[in-house]
Amino acid sequence: MKLKVMLPTRVFIDQDVNKVVAEAQNGSFCILPKHIDFVSALVPGILLFESDNEEEFLAIDEGILVKWGSDVLVSTRNAVRSIDLGQLKQTVEEEFRILDEREKKSRSVIARLEADFAKRILELD
């Protein structure tokens, strides 16, 4: 099977795999090469894939998985890849910390813009 994981800005993974394990809202599921075609909404969590008898892990944000023929296509906003779950946990925590700091800065800038806009509107009267 060919696993392709797509982020909004790039293709994150494009490789042959033997197995994919993902999680939907109603639980985990495993996809093997002769699995029936289907579509599933994914919840934030761990996607496991196996190639050459080596397992790798992918922490993903919510997304969509499409199994079509020999292709498994996953579209998600964020993904972090690792062969070690412990390392993956640390990396994800660091990514969340960075995203949280960026969101705080963005909210601050937007609040200043809104205040400035309101002030200028009041000056027009």
Q: Across all residues in the chain, what is the average pLDDT? A: 89
pLDDT of residue 37: 94
Is residue 26 over pLDDT 80?
Answer: yes
Note the CATH number of domain 1-83. Answer: 2.60.15.10
pLDDT at 52: 85
Closest CA to 64 of 3, 105, 6: 6
Residue 49 clears pLDDT 90, i.e. is over it = yes
Domain ranges of the chain: 1-83, 84-125
**Across 94-104, average pLDDT:** 76
pLDDT given at position 94: 77
Predicted confidence (pLDDT) per residue in 51-76, tens digit: 888 999 998 888 999 999 999 999 99
pLDDT of residue 125: 67
- Structure confidence at residue 53 (pLDDT): 83
Own/partner long-range contacts of 84-92 (Cβ < 8 Å, ≥24 apart): 84/57, 85/46, 85/57, 88/46, 88/57, 88/59, 91/59, 92/59
In whole angstroms, give the CA distance from residue 7 to residue 4: 10
